[in-house]
Amino acid sequence: MNQERELLTLDATVEDIVFKNEDSGFCVLDVSAGSDLITAVGEMAAVEPGEEVTLTGYFTSHPSFGEQFKVQVFDRKLPTTARAIRKFLSSGAIKGIGPALAERIVSMFGEQTLERIQQDPECLTQVKGISQKMAENLICEFEKLFGVRRVMLFLEKFGIKATESVKVWAKWGTLAIGMIEKNPYSLCCEEIGLSFSAVDEIAAQLKLPQNDTHRIQSGLEYVLRYNARENGHTCLPRERLVAVASSLLQLDTGEIDEVLTQQLERGRFYSLEGGREFIFLPTYFLAEQYTAERVAQMLETQQDEPEGLELAIDLEEEACGLEYAPLQRKAIRDAVNNRFFILTGGPGTGKTTILNGVISILEQRGEKVGICAPTGRAAKRLSEVSGQDAKTIHRMLGVQMQQGERSDFVHNEQNPLKYDAIIVDEMSMVDSLLFASLLKAAKPSCRVILTGDSNQLPSVSAGNVLKDLISSGCIPFVELKEIFRQSAQSLIVTNAHAIVNDEYPELERTDNDFFFLGRRSLEATAYTIAELVEVRLPASYGFSPLDDIQVICPSRKTVIGTVELNRLLQNKLNPPELGKKEFKYGLYTYREGDKVMQVRNNYDIEWKKDGESGQGIFNGDIGYITKINRAAGVMQVLFDGRTATYTTEMAKELELAYAITIHKSQGNEFRAVVMPVMGGETEFYNRNLFYTGITRAKELLILVGSSRSVAHMVRQIKVNYRYTGLKKLLTTAVLGE
């Protein structure tokens, strides 16, 4: 039973910083309160030794580090005693001041040192050893110190954390408070990232009128960002955008439409006519426009069929001991003859065979070929089947330090990749922004070959690139449908094709790689899944419950959704033990040994592998928690040999991955897949979702649940439509339509 802890308030002085995370503001401090030296832990951004602080929280006992004071509320004031001021100035808080200079400054101004510098910063020139030039530098440092504190005090009354205040200062400096008072909605920008609802409350407290132009503009941006993030739309019909914004802002559609027109003229939004008018955020419009124009350029400069291509294909057949089907030969010819080409097909149709042939022929012609895929697992699988060094798209492009989630890469138009040909696998899950970045990094003469399965779900992030390219009718394209002999023996393959062709999968057989276990309740389904993962599959097939078996779910909800199944499977596969460290964050308790998935792109996080280091852990990467240090508020996660350090606050970027959604499984392939199929007979549970889940299994697939739910998913062909501009922009660029 949870017990409310008694909150205490301590006035203390910071003696030492044991640990500080600059991103989250989490700190472990040694503080003196009276005659006691106390360890304080919690979010305390921009704190420095010597500062006087007021801490509100409670004492707790840590098994390894003893008694700690867990800070819930943190307040600061500049030090007032000579000793504390000396410690503060020499702590590194002010660049250029060491212990000796701190002593001279405090000796001159005493306990009024900081107050005097605030009122008359030029007084620093009176201190021995400080030249005019040095004084100017120190004045800048003090202005930053006092400025950050002013911003913190200003935003504190609105409930904004100190970590966010530091971001605000970094963006606007001395202009910050004036900027916020004039337009609080600027706090919604990507670098700071406050939610619209939080900023709307600040605006109300600042007495901004509800129909303020900044509020309407920010509301429109919020609706577009939300729909990009949650629904995959890169744009919205104008009338729909205005209607949703009207509901959000509680304003008439006429007022909103008028502001939208003004902001379109100023370039804050972009518009595209296509029967209806569609409105974009600049980022998405410019990405799709670039993609359309670059692809159109590539299509204009097609190449003549190279001499001896048919002979090269014959020799490839001989070398591999196979005979290409007519459509496979056509696919190889089209891939070699065109600057831009798409190859699609379901499992077992020979996409890999064709790719290997294309790579071999291109390399024989002296072309340098780069191959990539959206996820680490997909890239690893591509390396295995091609014998080439495949990379994730992000690692091929190279990640640079940056704010937010903008795709800022080392390779771009100014610094293109050296490849003569780039092949992208699992293209269905590549979003609009990432694909535009890849095209920007391809040198002008580069050819691009895309492969994937157009029957799978679209990308998790905004866009529908593969389907838009195909449906434009502008792109050389081959779709493989024939299942080849070896693959035809797999029920996973034949049932996947049956589902695509509106046929009911074969569920009764028990002698192959596809099994159905009928259950009558959600609880029985969950129990069976846990038993399969923990006991039956390891015993019968030798599969590792963590490395080889993956539970994938249509939904997060109910007892057979990812949240509850993760808790159940964690308890079975990685139960709490004495000495095994853990902490609770959000929906889950995380402990050492847990299987986890990164659920958002983090371009800035650093990782280490075999003495090398790099940056970036990306949406869909799966790893294991190897170490938790609760005192320091950090944990280490191992992703395919790369170790990254997370603060406990960064746990919001992770989820347990014993069970993952079908959407999150895209681009991955697992030796064994276990999938619940029960309930949820809605439009969301559709054929594309079911097909994507089934095709994640490499050696074994087990469905657990209701045959009625299977039938529903096969019949349900409605897929949520995505609003995008790429198809229209491409047909305009290529055909002038």
Residue 286 has a pLDDT of 97
Averaged pLDDT, 174-186? 85
What confidence tier does 360 reach under pLDDT thresholds 50, 70, 90? very high
Is 168 in the same domain as 273?
Answer: yes
- Is residue 418 pLDDT above 90, yes or no? yes
For residue 99, what pLDDT is reported? 84
CATH number of the structural domain spanning residue 238: 1.10.10.2220
The domain of 252 spans 162-285
pLDDT in tens, 638-692: 998 899 999 877 888 999 999 999 988 887 889 999 999 987 666 668 888 899 9
Q: Please indicate if the annotation marks 20 as binding a ligand.
A: no
Please report the pLDDT score of residue 407 as a whole number: 46
448 shares its domain with 511: no
Judge if 658 and 699 occupy the same domain: yes
CATH code at position 457: 3.40.50.300
What is the CB neighbour count within 10 angstroms for residue 302?
11
The per-residue pLDDT for 445 is 92
> How far is the C-alpha of 103 from the C-alpha of 117, rounded, in Å?
15
Total Cβ atoms within 10 A of residue 122: 11
pLDDT at 289: 97
Give the range among 266-270, 527-531, 606-610 with minimum mean pLDDT.
606-610
Percentage of the chain surpassing pLDDT 90?
A: 39
Pairing between β-strand 391-392 and β-strand 421-424 as defined by DSSP bridges: unpaired
User: Domain ends where: 35, 53, 76?
Assistant: 76
Instruction: For residues 256 and 379, state if they share a domain.
Output: no
Q: How far is CA 342 from the centre of its chain?
A: 26
| Locus of tokens 């046929």 | 503
In the listed set 33, 61, 76, which residue is the last one of a domain according to the structure? Answer: 76
* This prediction's pTM: 0.79
Asked if the structure places residue 217 within a domain, the reply is yes
pLDDT of residue 321: 83
Q: Is 348 annotated as a binding residue?
A: yes
* Residue 1 pLDDT grade (very low, low, confident, very high; cuts 50, 70, 90): very low
* 581 annotated ligand-binding residue: no
Whether 104 is covered by a domain: the verdict is no
Statement to judge: residues 315 and 244 lie in one domain: no
Average pLDDT of the segment spanning 9-17: 84
Residues 455 and 508 in one domain: no
Mean pLDDT within 2-7: 62
Structure confidence by residue, pLDDT tens digits, 473-486: 999 999 988 876 55
What was the pLDDT predicted at 380?
84
C-alpha to C-alpha distance for 91 and 50, rounded to whole angstroms: 8
- 566 pLDDT more than 60: yes
Res 730 pLDDT > 90: yes
Domain annotation covers residue 496: no
Q: Where are the alpha helices (DSSP H) in 89-190?
A: 99-109, 113-119, 132-156, 162-172, 176-182
Are 358 and 249 part of one and the same domain?
A: no
On whether 467 is known to bind a ligand per the annotation, the reply is: no
* pLDDT beyond 80 at 144: no
Q: How far apart are CA 87 and CA 48, in angstroms?
A: 9
Residue 494 lies in a domain: no
Q: Alpha-carbon distance 253 to 161, whole Å?
A: 34
Q: How confident is the model at residue 487 (pLDDT cuts 50, 70, 90)?
A: low
Which of 169, 282, 263, 164 is closest to 214 using CA atoms? 263
> Is the pLDDT reported for residue 404 higher than 50?
no
If asked whether residues 535 and 665 sit together in one domain, one would say: yes
Both structure tokens of 256: 């909103």
State the Cα–Cα distance between residues 562 and 497, nearest whole angstrom. 27
Chain mean pLDDT for the chain: 86
Residue 203 located in a structural domain: yes
* pLDDT recorded at residue 697: 92
168/312 same-domain check: no
**Confidence band (pLDDT; 50, 70, 90) for 406?**
very low
Please tell me whether residue 550 adopts helix, strand or coil conformation.
Answer: strand
Cα(168)–Cα(61) distance, integer angstroms: 35
- The answer as to whether 246 is a domain residue is yes
Per-residue pLDDT for 451 more than 90?
yes
- What is the rounded CA–CA span in Å between residue 342 and residue 359? 15
Judged against a pLDDT cut of 90, whether residue 634 lies above it is answered with no
Lowest-pLDDT range of 30-34, 56-60, 167-171, 598-602? 167-171
User: Is 118 part of any domain?
Assistant: no
The answer on pLDDT for 722 being more than 80 is yes
Structural domain count, the chain: 4
In this structure, the answer to whether residues 357 and 479 fall within a common structural domain is yes
CB 655 within 8 A of CB 599: yes
Q: Is 174 annotated as a binding residue?
A: no
Q: Strands 622-629 and 514-518, how do they pair?
A: unpaired
Same domain, 669 and 705: yes
> Could you tell me the CATH number of the domain that includes residue 56?
2.40.50.140
Q: How many CB atoms lie within 10 A of CB 656?
A: 24
pLDDT band at 304 (very low <50, low <70, confident <90, very high): low
Instruction: Write the pLDDT tens digit of every residue in 496-552.
Output: 888 888 888 988 887 789 999 999 999 999 999 999 999 999 999 999 999 999 999
* 416 shares its domain with 552: no
pLDDT digits (tens, 9 = 90+) for 190-239: 777 788 888 888 888 888 898 989 999 989 999 999 999 888 999 999 99
- pLDDT of 377 > 70? The answer is yes
Helices (H), 305-350: 309-320, 326-337
**Could you tell me the pLDDT band of residue 24, with boundaries at 50, 70 and 90?**
low
| 719 confidence band (pLDDT: 50, 70, 90) | low
Q: Which of 23, 43, 76 is the last residue of a domain?
A: 76
**E-assigned strand segments in 548-657:** 549-553, 582-585, 588-591, 595-598, 602-609, 612-617, 622-629, 634-639, 642-647, 654-656
In a domain, 103, yes or no: no
Residue 737's pLDDT is 64
